[in-house]
Chain A
């Protein structure tokens, strides 16, 4: 079956061993060129992986947003949507895995421009899973923690490719931290009060339905 095709973003992207094929394209290759390159590459495992490193904290004042955020975001977009197009056309079962630092979800280290890239990638990954909906292709987000045992991470990756849950959380993303992040969001939503009722536009946020996220508990 072979291994995944991997796009590594950042010098500290988790090393996945010698088996995977690493994707390489010109740094400034356009979205269409990257997609065409993916289209032409055989990937018998039907598994595509974006491995993203934690990166150095880059202060927000003085950040070079193009190199820190826009360029890698565009590259990830081209890779992920290129993989989705290819898998969709084949009609086969496939996986697109975003391997993201846990700070993509919850950032409490030094404030950093890197968090903007990581969160935008998280939004991209969730939206891709939503768009692929009931197709045989799934997007999973595997969070990794600083210093995580590579064997444990490898096992979670394997599980993600096989079971294709929406999220696989690293041990540092515990319930208390998740509740801590969402509490002020819920407080602010409640403070807004209800706006005028809107016409029914159908089910919202179905991608988050517990029977679709693929946790062992669901």
Chain B
């Protein structure tokens, strides 16, 4: 199957106005594609518009909440009216809500699961039939996380959704075998993005029960930002995604240093065989 990373083809990237999504958008624009940069945050869309100005009208900026199915219908209409065909769908938007799963409430669970998991299934529902129908090579890639393959003790709701995203992309890849479209999953480790400020962008519909303590929040953000500032650049990750789509690779990781953590889970499973 030939791949869709060619000048003149069209891609849509959710969460495309910041971090990894912006890195993917920039790399695909550099490769000559048209890119729809879709994001829920107006401030991020404005920053992205400025950052990608040199792409001219090959970049389109779209307000889209991945949890909202009506927004997805509008996105499909935009694709069909403006470009006719979509070739690459990057389901990347996500929220990094960490903390105790046991102490979390309905709003925590709903926000994380609607964005991180339903945000991906909604995108598949809205655009995969279109991508299959036009018959040209296409690719769907979703951003999960290393947390979609291994767990930590403070990320249960996030990991549950991201485990689901890995399974969805694995199943989709098998289901699409022999068609014009393929699927992959991206499992980033530490990438230097704005993921540290997600607690601040909680929508009203999923408002936290109590307002988080500002000083604790600032400390947590500074800690996360400090770690992530050493991480991969989003542009490098965008390049990895481009290469993976071109090679039709099933999995994309961003850092081999996480191998021992995955190996720990693998060894735990193997040690349990016949136990």
Contacts and interface: CB of A to CB of B under 8 A. Distances in A.
Chain A interface mostly: helix
Interface stretch (A14-22, A48-56, A113-121): A113-121
Contacts of A206: 153
Interface string B100-140: 11111110010001000110011011001100000000000
A168 B272 contact: yes
A146 interface: no
A173 B157 CA distance: 26
A218 B264 CA distance: 13
16 contacts: A77-B157, A88-B102, A115-B167, A116-B167, A119-B164, A121-B160, A123-B159, A131-B102, A131-B156, A186-B263, A190-B256, A191-B253, A198-B227, A198-B231, A199-B226, A205-B150
B205 interface: no
Given A69-B164, A205-B261, A213 B151 contact: no
Interface string A105-134: 101000111011111111110111111110
Contacts of B259: 186, 189-190
B113 A195 contact: no
Interface string B246-275: 000111111111111111111111111111
A167 B272 contact: yes
B163 interface: yes
A184 B269 contact: no
Interface in B176-224: 189-190
A202 B56 CA distance: 45
A169 B162 CA distance: 23
Given A189-B258, A190-B259, A204-B260, 20 more contacts: A65-B121, A65-B122, A69-B117, A69-B164, A70-B118, A85-B102, A111-B174, A115-B171, A119-B163, A120-B167, A169-B269, A179-B270, A186-B259, A188-B250, A192-B253, A193-B255, A194-B257, A201-B227, A210-B271, A213-B271
B177 to A, nearest CB: 9
A133 B214 CA distance: 28
Interface residues of B, number: 76
A194 B113 contact: no
Interface string A154-193: 0000000000011111000111001100101110111111
A61 interface: yes
B168 interface: yes
Given A174-B273, A213-B272, A195 B232 contact: yes
A59 B256 CA distance: 34
A69 B121 contact: yes
A215 B151 CA distance: 19
Given A127-B156, A192-B253, A81 B275 contact: no
Given A119-B164, A218-B271, A195 B151 contact: no
Given A123-B163, A195-B231, A217-B275, A210 B268 contact: yes
Nearest to B184: A188
Contact of B264 (A32, A73, A107, A209): A209
B257 A120 contact: no
A198 B230 contact: yes
A77 B160 contact: yes
A199 B164 contact: no
A122 B175 contact: no
Contacts of B159: 123-124, 126-127
A60 interface: yes
Contacts of A120: 117, 160-161, 163-164, 167
A107 B79 CA distance: 33
A129 B160 CA distance: 13
B226 to A, nearest CB: 7
Given A185-B149, A189-B256, A195-B190, A31 B109 contact: yes
A121 B78 CA distance: 35
B171 A60 contact: yes
Contacts of A191: 249, 253, 256
A91 interface: no
B153 A207 contact: yes
B120 to A, nearest CB: 9
Q: What 6 pairs across the A-B complex have the smallest Cβ distances?
A: A123-B163, A127-B156, A119-B167, A120-B164, A195-B255, A111-B175
